[in-house]
Amino acid sequence: MRLKDKICVVTGSSRGIGEAIARGFASEGAKVVITYSTQKERAEEVAQEIGAELVLHLDVRDRNGVRDAFNKIAAFYGKINVLVNNAGINRTADFDKQTEEEWDEVINVNLTGVFRCCQEVLPFLTDHGRIINIGSLSGEYGGPRTPSYACAKMGVMALTHNLARFLGSRGICVNTLSPGIIANEFTEATMAPSVRSLLDNLLLIKRAGTYADLVGGAVFLASDESAYLTAQTLSINGGAWVR
């Protein structure tokens, strides 16, 4: 019960990593708000299974919609303790083939979407609260076949640093949780087999990561145990790089 009664909002928690984090938070006693952009039924299933009281549409591209969602959460719970900015997309292409439309789409969801959610949560975020931004090995590694995605995720790390400076005096910790290669449909759909095999060969732990590998880190960053950890990147990637 490391998150007992903490109000935790996870963007994009209808499936994938966001769903896994929401389930992990609920199992630690949090009151989790499930949000989705398209998969309403899936989100409602997840909410029912973990006993979440609120399921909301939250499209991070829509400023008014984001504001409306946080207002609803605040009206229901009166405060927000933890925000996980997880919602994300990818549009894979070599650098010279990435279109400007793809670039704008990915930056809008993966970087500006995080900026929007962070601004709109501020009036409701408690002192000693937490913001966890989901980064990516791609952001730390420069792609390889994801220029817009890599830049958005590197941008998320800079946003984390800047916001941690802004909120530090309130005891609010802002960190990036940066997953490596996670085995799911998202990864399968967006990563060339040759790239995956190259990265698999580089990993110190010789397997792709799973959702379960990420949940413990997310719980730690949301919990009181991480009160002195801010403006950092927690890279859970099987040892994809060594400093």
Catalytic residues: 149
> Would you count residue 115 as binding ligand NDP (CB under 6 A)?
no
Q: Please report, as residue ranges, which positions from 119 to 158 form the binding site for ligand NDP (by CB under 6 A).
A: 134, 136
Q: How far is the CB of 92 from ligand NDP (least distance, A)?
A: 12
| Exposed / middle / buried, residue 190 (Cβ in 10 Å: 0-12, 13-18, 19+) | middle
CA-wise closest residue to 135 among 61, 237, 15, 65: 237
In whole angstroms, give the CA distance from residue 191 to residue 116: 28
Q: Which stretch binds ligand NDP (CB under 6 A): 24-32, 87-95, 164-172, 222-230?
A: 87-95
Among 151, 155, 132, CA closest to 143? 151
Asked if 63 touches ligand NDP (CB under 6 A), the answer is no
Q: At closest approach, how far in Å is the CB of 122 from ligand NDP?
A: 19
The single residue among 89, 150, 151, 163 that binds ligand NDP, judged by CB under 6 A, is: 89
Cβ burial 224-241 (10 Å sphere, 16+ → b, else e): eebeeebbbbbbbbbebe
For position 111 contacting ligand NDP by CB under 6 A, the verdict is: no
Task: Find the part of the chain contacting ligand NDP (CB under 6 A) among 84-92, 122-130, 194-202, 224-232.
Answer: 84-92
- The phi-psi region of residue 20 (left if phi > 0; otherwise alpha if psi is between -120 and 50; otherwise beta) is alpha
What is the nearest approach in angstroms of ligand NDP to the Cβ of residue 128? Answer: 25
State which of positions 167-196 bind ligand NDP (CB under 6 A): 179, 181-182, 184, 186-187
Q: Are 10 and 21 in contact (CB under 8 A)?
A: yes
d(CA 235, CA 223): 18
Contacting positions for ligand NDP (CB under 6 A):
11-12, 14-18, 36-39, 58-61, 86-89, 109, 134, 136, 179, 181-182, 184, 186-187
